[in-house]
Chains A and B, each alone.
Chain A
């Protein structure tokens, strides 16, 4: 009993030091000049543009990675093409790779001094140090999230209900929409939320490919980093607090999806 109390106290203390005190300090810093001061910081043109860019990249990433992840997960889970084992292994690569290196890899392929990069630039497509490159970098680091969540789920669910739908005359397409998608919706929701969290918080990969141009290619996290460097802690705290609030909502959504997903697996 004493042992357990000591352990719980230890966990609470650690939680306090690690999460609660820094979080409170950050919010306190953001509000050090009052609520108006906080809004003044958040509404600065550079901050607004950075936050807007972060949300835009996140939305685009979600839009591309969700369908792509579902298709990849279906192919891997159903072992429906030769070499699925290879794809299954490679999917995890972004997890193992430091985001900075992922960004660098993109730069080496699409940078202005490379063959492909120069070719694209000559045709009016600027990939690096622009939105496409930043979305590409975010796509790269978030790609495993949907796949890794859905492959085990799909394997666990099996193919019986889909086969039942086929024998009832439903095409592969209709079967996906009417049977498969509803059954994986909570897993998909969970991985979407994970993707949002990861995309919003991405720093390393985006730093390498963005060029960090204020008001153009500066995301919220890059803005916070820059402000900290410039010793403008109030600006850093304000934007950080916005990101933290979003994270809090994400956390709640994650719990919702996780709980429902576990309760309704059939």
Chain B
């Protein structure tokens, strides 16, 4: 285990708890996405692993060593800050060389390593620029190169793509993943963007109100969320509540098997828009009426109304040959769903 966090608690002086009993461990070479809404404690957790904040209780191990009493300087952890925190008064070269000069490496070695890193982040020829002369994406890459220069065993990234515009963002995150694989480092990145986490992380740690809600592969988190929060946080979702009768849940004209839930229990049902299929109206299918259809490239977002007046969001591939004119009657079929006990 490269990183092992045990029963970590962080309370601020005001008494509010930022982290409550957080435990998890990260394997060597993994890339972990720390996902959660703002205020869920993910940045606090990252800062504590780096040694920038101190926990109230609990233990952090990096490569087997307890680091709780080690200052940030001696944890061997690279950190990429949200707004990069490049040294504004230094050139790109000096920024990247900083950690090497601190280590008092020889001039030649520093020169060689910085140049190698510049090649790695594809910024050759930029060594004499100052941070204010760089675009967001370039500054991001310098920050990454600077964090990697001292060859840390762990790389932590705090919202690394938040300040880059959407177009470069997708490109940049795949590229960061590529670098992660190339140098074989263990990394954790914080994000509030579920798409980002699901796309590049090996495993996703979903946090909510200072607790770990689920820690699993992107696919598992997506397909088998462990809590209503996870089900609701990862992408759009239709949500409804009902009471179990005859070991069944009746909702939206559908009958869902109640699974582990007993008769009389209140449950919440979650269905993703992409797990609903629409077809031409048929006598034996659940009827629905198209309210609105918004074409958005590959998919079309449809709002349908059911017999009980409730509405559902549906996301259909745009090439489906279903008449989506508002007012049109269609049939509806739910392919996948999640049921949770009502809190």
Q: Which residues of chain B are near A167, meaning CB under 8 Å?
A: 50-52, 72-73, 75, 77-79, 147
Of B82-90, B174-182, B232-240, B295-303, the one with at least 4 CB within 8 A of chain A = B82-90
CA distance A23 to B85 in the complex (A): 48
Interface status of B81 (Cβ within 8 A of chain A): yes
A183 with B88, Cβ < 8 A, contacts A166-B72, A168-B98 known: yes
Residue of A nearest to B75 (CB): A167
B79–A163 touching, CB < 8 Å: yes
Contact for A183 among B78, B89, B98, CB less than 8 A: B89
Q: Apart from A167-B73, A168-B149, A264-B89, what 8 extra A-B contacts exist at CB < 8 Å?
A: A160-B83, A163-B81, A166-B71, A168-B150, A169-B74, A266-B88, A266-B89, A266-B131
Interface status of B132 (Cβ within 8 A of chain A): yes
B99–A168 touching, CB < 8 Å: yes
Q: How large is the interface on B (under 10, 10 to 19, 20 to 34, 35 or more residues)?
A: 20 to 34
Interface status of A174 (Cβ within 8 A of chain B): yes
Residue of B nearest to A170 (CB): B102
A161–B87 touching, CB < 8 Å: yes
Q: How large is the interface on A (under 10, 10 to 19, 20 to 34, 35 or more residues)?
A: 10 to 19
B85–A160 touching, CB < 8 Å: yes
A169 with B99, Cβ < 8 A, contacts A163-B81, A266-B131 known: yes
Interface status of A40 (Cβ within 8 A of chain B): no
CA distance A174 to B103 in the complex (A): 12
Interface status of B272 (Cβ within 8 A of chain A): no
B85–A168 touching, CB < 8 Å: no
Q: Which residues of chain B are near A264, meaning CB under 8 Å?
A: 88-89
Interface status of B208 (Cβ within 8 A of chain A): no
Contact for B103 among A166, A169, A266, CB less than 8 A: A169
Q: Which residues of chain A are near B51, meaning CB under 8 Å?
A: 166-167
Contact for A170 among B73, B75, B79, B83, CB less than 8 A: B73
B79–A164 touching, CB < 8 Å: yes
For chain B residues 80-116, which have a beta carbon within 8 Å of chain A?
81, 83, 85-89, 98-99, 102-103
A182 with B89, Cβ < 8 A, contacts A163-B52, A169-B103, A170-B73 known: yes
A164–B73 touching, CB < 8 Å: no
Interface status of A74 (Cβ within 8 A of chain B): no
Interface status of B146 (Cβ within 8 A of chain A): yes
B88–A171 touching, CB < 8 Å: no
Q: Which residues of chain B are near A170, meaning CB under 8 Å?
A: 73, 98-99, 102
Interface status of A242 (Cβ within 8 A of chain B): no
For chain A residues 215-266, which have a beta carbon within 8 Å of chain B?
264, 266
A171 to chain B, nearest CB (A): 6
CA distance A183 to B88 in the complex (A): 8
CA distance A266 to B51 in the complex (A): 25
Q: Which residues of chain A are near B99, meaning CB under 8 Å?
A: 168-170
CA distance A183 to B132 in the complex (A): 14
**What are 11 A-B contacts defined by CB distance under 8 Å?**
A160-B83, A161-B86, A161-B87, A163-B85, A166-B71, A167-B75, A167-B79, A169-B73, A169-B102, A170-B99, A171-B73
Q: Which residues of chain A are near B98, meaning CB under 8 Å?
A: 165, 168, 170, 178
Interface status of A179 (Cβ within 8 A of chain B): yes
Q: Which residues of chain A are near B86, meaning CB under 8 Å?
A: 161, 164
Mask, A41-83, CB within 8 Å of B = 1, is 0000000000000000000000000000000000000000000
A266 with B102, Cβ < 8 A, contacts A160-B81, A160-B85, A182-B89 known: no
Mask, B45-61, CB within 8 Å of A = 1, is 00000111000000000
A161 with B85, Cβ < 8 A, contacts A167-B77, A168-B98, A170-B98 known: yes
Q: Which residues of chain A are near B72, meaning CB under 8 Å?
A: 163, 166-167
Residue of B nearest to A181 (CB): B89
CA distance A160 to B72 in the complex (A): 13
Q: Which residues of chain A are near B131, meaning CB under 8 Å?
A: 266
Residue of A nearest to B53 (CB): A163
Contact for A266 among B77, B132, B147, B149, CB less than 8 A: B132
CA distance A165 to B99 in the complex (A): 8
B85–A164 touching, CB < 8 Å: yes
CA distance A30 to B45 in the complex (A): 69
Q: Which residues of chain B are near A178, meaning CB under 8 Å?
A: 98
Contact for A164 among B74, B87, B103, B132, CB less than 8 A: B87
CA distance A166 to B98 in the complex (A): 11
Residue of B nearest to A165 (CB): B98
Q: Which residues of chain A are near B85, meaning CB under 8 Å?
A: 160-161, 163-164
For chain A residues 173-189, which have a beta carbon within 8 Å of chain B?
174, 178-179, 182-183
Contact for B146 among A160, A166, A168, CB less than 8 A: A168
Q: Which residues of chain A are near B150, meaning CB under 8 Å?
A: 168-169
Q: Which residues of chain B are near A160, meaning CB under 8 Å?
A: 81, 83, 85
CA distance A264 to B88 in the complex (A): 9
Q: Which residues of chain A are near B75, meaning CB under 8 Å?
A: 167
CA distance A137 to B79 in the complex (A): 47
A164–B81 touching, CB < 8 Å: yes
CA distance A7 to B99 in the complex (A): 57
Mask, B214-237, CB within 8 Å of A = 1, is 000000000000000000000000
A53 to chain B, nearest CB (A): 38
Residue of A nearest to B131 (CB): A266
A109 to chain B, nearest CB (A): 37
